[in-house]
Chains A and B, each alone.
Chain A
Amino acid sequence: MDPRRPPRTVPDPKVRHVGFFAPGADAPPPPDRSNSAPPDPLSSSPPAAAHLTPPGTSISPVMIPPPRHSAAPLSPRRRDSFIVGSYSGKRFLDVGSPTASTASATDDWALPTSADSAWVGDTVGAGASSLPPVGSAAMIAKGLASSVPATAGLTAVSNVHRSAGVSGKPSGAASKVQGDKPKQSKPLKEKTTKAERRALQEAQRAAKAAAKGVGGKASVHMSEVVLASDVESVEVPKAHFQRNDIAAVNEKKVIDRQLEKDRKKDVPQPRMQYDDKSRVEKAKKRAVLKQTEARNRVELFRHLPQYERGTLLPDLQSRFFQLDPVHPAISKVGFQYLSGDISGSNARCIAMLQAIREAIIDYSVPPGKALVRDLTSKIGSYVSFLIECRPLSISMGNAIRYLKNRIAKLPLTLSESEAKATVVADIDRFIHDKIILADKMIVKHAVTKIRDGDVLLTYGSSSVVEMILLHAHELGKQFRVVVVDSRPKLEGQLLLRKLVGKGLSCTYTHINAISYIMHEVSRVFLGASSVLSNGTVYSRVGTACVAMVAHTFHVPVMVCCETYKFHERVQLDSICSNELGDPDVICKVRGRDEINFLDGWTNGNNLQLLNLIYDATPSDYVSMIITDYGMVPPTSVPVIVREYRKEQLWI
């Protein structure tokens, strides 16, 4: 673990983080973070005990592993799993053979029994904190949002974006959360809100104390209460607030405001709109690559870049030695993106991070410049080069944001080599924790959903779904796989090759036959490029069709996605934001030379070829999302997004 993690002691300033929370080690918590552990041992012990006592029974839909240093008193079993989850030693090199490593990992990953209920995650992530009951509380609160009194419902309920009935929130804080946008903090207004809240809490606590009495029994009571009733469970953590003194509140407010600003910066910039002439011109001037615009642009997609692919690569190659601002490792990755040699968001992200890692190793601070600033701008230029090669996927955007954040937070006291080593270690840790380890966790969760005799359908080629299938096969489960594929990439054939090579029984078909084949399917496993915070799954084009047909046939659809790919953006259709591939591959069918009707017609004005890369699957079609934090419904995505971002800022 990273030795320098000083900001951990800084209390989490984000007002709205309630459903999942920081470890008990936190210093005085902000007044409205209802569930952080209070400084007072007396009042803190009941909830903690409550959370430890019911290990397997707590129904928590979302589990977020707590920051690692906070190994509070744990039951031994929990500590086991917890340690494994965050442990990064020997398995770090297992990148190449994920399934083998997963297999080897199985014995020491004490996998808790997962209950049958769809959203019951296992307890791996739940290790250190009093999280599960609150998580469940949040979910229950979502379900019963309408019944939650305004005061009690406030923050826990507001975790859940999509619950319509969350009108019970009293103040601006709630709406702020809903938008997931930082709002200018308004001290005056907040103060009144908090004061109100505190008064309410006081009253509630008094009532509770009267009702329950004090002592050792309290913990049992609490746990029951937590699991049983939403209202009370929300109250439990709140009971601790009034311990905070005013001074702490004020101090916090300052930090709060500052972090509010930070947060605002973090909100994704509006993307480049390519129908904005002036901006496009500006971008062209800056561009390293010269791209020719496609001749027949699809009218609906004028806001997206539509370039001719074929012309770019030779041009780049000829200028390979002139691209001075770009590190060779970066330009290599860029070419690979461009030619499609690396595809799949995990592979692309890892390739990019490793290229940046190499570039950082070779980097030296120019005289007279500050490392932090120069390195950030350097990485910025690398990234814009990569964007020119191929637009970044959302996961890559997240990774870069993480990286820039880390660099910005480098202590100024570090020497250059130390700083570089730190950043490199950060990159390594990101790759390992967020991708490799996350995939293992997903495999672990997902395998529990495969039974003997199942017919599993997958679409395209997702690396994590492949790992799941292979792992289940290694476990000796008897099942059949249907690989559905579509033009133009035909990635399914690659997956098919690998699966058949390992001895799995496979059926291969194309996407048009989906409703023919869906009759025999019992589960659908899909990969995703990203999961957006309204639950929309942004993935390879065609995924939406598969999910829709599966939904119509009442087949459960499980989307496997690492949390680092989650994003707070929302999207309703596949048009507003997408990526367009090379249009020419549409009219040429690989391996079918007789399909040449459109030869010579592509120059006409009337014909447009549209090669969409992604589409957006509405959350209605998704039964569950399997993440490294457990199995969650699509409605819980915003919660994970927020918690994950917090964690990311902290690491």
Chain B
Amino acid sequence: MPDVQALVNEFLNKLKKRKIEGSQATAKQTAELLRSVISQQRVPRTNQAGALIDAVRAIGEQLIVANPIELAVGNIVRRVLHIIREEDLSLTTAAVAELNLSTVSDDDDDGGGGDQDDRPVLSAAAVAAAARNTLRPPSLQMLLEGAPDFVAVPRSSSSGGDSEGKSKSMDRNSRTRKLKHDIIEAVNELIQDITTCHELIAEQAVEHIHQNEVILTLGSSKTVLEFLCAAKEKKRSFRVFVAEGAPRYQGHLLAKELVARGLQTTLITDSAVFAMISRVNMVIVGSHAVMANGGVIAPVGMNMVALAAQKHAVPFVVLAGSHKVILVYIGASTCRGPMLCPLYPHNPEVLLNELRSPSELLDFGEFSDCLDFGSGDGSPLLHVVNPTFDYVPPKAVSLFITDTGGHNPSYMYRLIADYYSADDLVVQRRHAAGN
């Protein structure tokens, strides 16, 4: 598959050179790349899911290494892996169901959970829901009866290899095609979700913004822009303070967009945040990634804003598309003792950060003599620190608004369980160890 490799290499280059900005763009492109990888991947007769997982994982590893700070890449890789597992599982379940109709009777309560109308009757999504149902038995009856075998079966099947044994009776050719088709469908759905998550979040704007509200934001985020504009379109009138967000000054861009849409906008310097926050009703910001413990990786300066908001008891609201930003790092892994992630960010400001060029802060022409590493003893007097991200601890966040609604920081770990399968956390660990 030379063409896929070329695509991958091109994307890798872009990632390495930091040509792709914004987690949404990265997420979307990653998903598209993985989709083509899956469609090009030749699958063996046995263990198709395993082969696909291995292929995606191999490429995902490269992508993550290319830009370990762009957490959306890793998240999408995990999402796709999760999709493959689920589709495989659903096919398996379907096969088992055909063989043994009694299992289908368990699938009574949530047959419609999230599936598409245009699917065949035995759609993958429906069965996936059923499979999920067996994965985490929700019904009281099951809890009462305490049926451990339901959990045990999918567990073993999700690891890839063993599932084959049960479905040998199936027509393999049709299964192969069906699996790939379903997976690609699901990935398409994921891409769709990524593109539309802004709208989903923005729809909730009117529920959170009232008349004459004063809102402060820092830097620029497309989600925030859409959110504010959605409220504006619903005839709410409110004022926005935009902190410019040095050193990228994206706040200027946001201010321009807001003014263009007729919002009362005041542009302030970052240093004036503390002075102004006492007159602000709500802080609404975008994020780069959300940690499993509810912490946020956000553009630099956000922690300062969050602290100021906390001191003045101003709600600090983070907008986050749940697809791209839920990160699998911390909480989920810590609660599973043996899988404790070595990257547990006790110091995420430093470990999950990236230092940008000093030229954004200092004019090289003026300070070149001080910044010279080559002269003298090799250690210059002057260092310039220009980090990209800030870590906002969960206790400073009042609310997450995701496309699935508003959530507390303490609930974030739960969303992760919905979107990623536990097996992929281990993959991440291998990556981290490999790095």
Contacts and interface: CB of A to CB of B under 8 A. Distances in A.
A512 B307 contact: no
Interface SS of A by simple majority: mixed
A421 to B, nearest CB: 45
Interface in B327-364: 347, 349-350, 353, 358, 360-363
A607 B259 contact: yes
Greatest chain A CB density within 10 A among B263, B358, B381 is at: B381
Contact of B271 (A300, A511, A552, A598): A511
A610 B267 contact: yes
A497 B255 CA distance: 33
A486 B271 contact: yes
Interface string B29-55: 000000000000000000000000000
Contacts of A517: 385
A511 B361 contact: no
Contacts of B265: 606-608
A435 to B, nearest CB: 26
Interface string A496-515: 11001001111111111111
Contact of B266 (A504, A519, A608): A608
B269 A508 contact: no
A610 B266 CA distance: 7
Interface in A606-628: 606-612, 615-616
B307 A552 contact: yes
A574 B350 CA distance: 32
A516 interface: yes
A74 interface: no
Contacts of A586: 244, 267-269
A575 B275 contact: yes
Nearest to B384: A508
B301 interface: yes
Given A487-B244, A512-B245, A548-B311, A615 B275 contact: yes
Contacts of A414: none
Contacts of A573: 275, 278
Given A511-B304, A512-B246, A486 B270 contact: yes
A366 interface: no
A545 B270 CA distance: 9
Contact of B252 (A500, A575, A595): A595
A67 interface: no
Contacts of B253: 597
B266 A609 contact: yes
Interface SS of B by simple majority: mixed
Contacts of B269: 486-488, 541-542, 586, 610-612
A178 interface: no
B275 A612 contact: yes
A487 B270 contact: yes
Given A510-B361, A512-B301, A545-B273, A500 B382 contact: yes
Interface in B155-182: none
B381 A505 contact: yes
A41 interface: no
Contact of A510 (B246, B252, B350, B363): B246
A508 B382 contact: yes
Interface in A6-45: none
B256 interface: yes
Contacts of B246: 486-487, 510-512
B272 interface: yes
B300 A513 contact: yes
B301 A508 contact: no
Greatest chain A CB density within 10 A among B245, B253, B386 is at: B386
B253 to A, nearest CB: 5
A505 B376 CA distance: 14
Nearest to B252: A597
B81 interface: no
Interface string B372-398: 000000000111111100100000000
Contacts of A595: 249, 252
Interface in A82-139: none
A551 B366 CA distance: 33
Contact of A511 (B264, B276, B301): B301
A604 interface: yes
A313 interface: no
Interface in A534-550: 540-542, 544-545, 548-549
A513 B382 contact: no
Given A516-B350, A541-B272, A606-B262, A592 B360 contact: yes
Contacts of A510: 246-247, 270, 361, 386
Contacts of B274: 542, 544-545, 548, 574, 615
Nearest to B248: A595
A504 B382 CA distance: 9
Interface in A513-567: 513-517, 519, 540-542, 544-545, 548-549, 552
Contact of B386 (A513, A574, A615): A513
Contacts of B268: 586, 610, 612
B222 to A, nearest CB: 15
B223 interface: no
B308 interface: yes
Interface string B97-123: 000000000000000000000000000
Interface in A457-509: 485-488, 493, 496-497, 500, 503-509
A592 B349 CA distance: 26
A589 interface: yes
Contact of A515 (B267, B304, B381): B304
B362 A508 contact: yes
B273 to A, nearest CB: 6
Nearest to A503: B381
A601 interface: yes
A516 B349 contact: yes
A516 to B, nearest CB: 5
B18 interface: no
Contacts of A575: 275-276, 278-279
A606 B263 contact: yes
B248 to A, nearest CB: 8
Contacts of A500: 367, 370, 381-382
Nearest to A585: B269
Contacts of A497: 366-367
A328 to B, nearest CB: 34
Contact of B390 (A496, A505, A516): A516
Contact of A545 (B244, B249, B271): B271
Contacts of B247: 510, 512
B300 A493 contact: no
The 10 closest A-B pairs by CB, nearest first: A542-B271, A512-B301, A574-B275, A515-B303, A486-B271, A615-B275, A544-B274, A509-B385, A597-B252, A608-B266
16 contacts: A507-B383, A508-B361, A509-B385, A512-B270, A515-B307, A516-B385, A516-B390, A545-B274, A573-B278, A574-B278, A586-B269, A597-B253, A598-B255, A608-B264, A612-B275, A612-B276
Given A545-B274, A595-B252, A601-B259, 10 more contacts: A507-B385, A508-B383, A509-B361, A512-B270, A512-B304, A545-B308, A548-B311, A597-B252, A597-B253, A607-B265
Interface of B: 239, 241, 244-247, 249, 252-253, 255-256, 258-260, 262-276, 278-279, 300-301, 303-304, 307-308, 311, 347, 349-350, 353, 358, 360-363, 366-367, 370, 381-387, 390
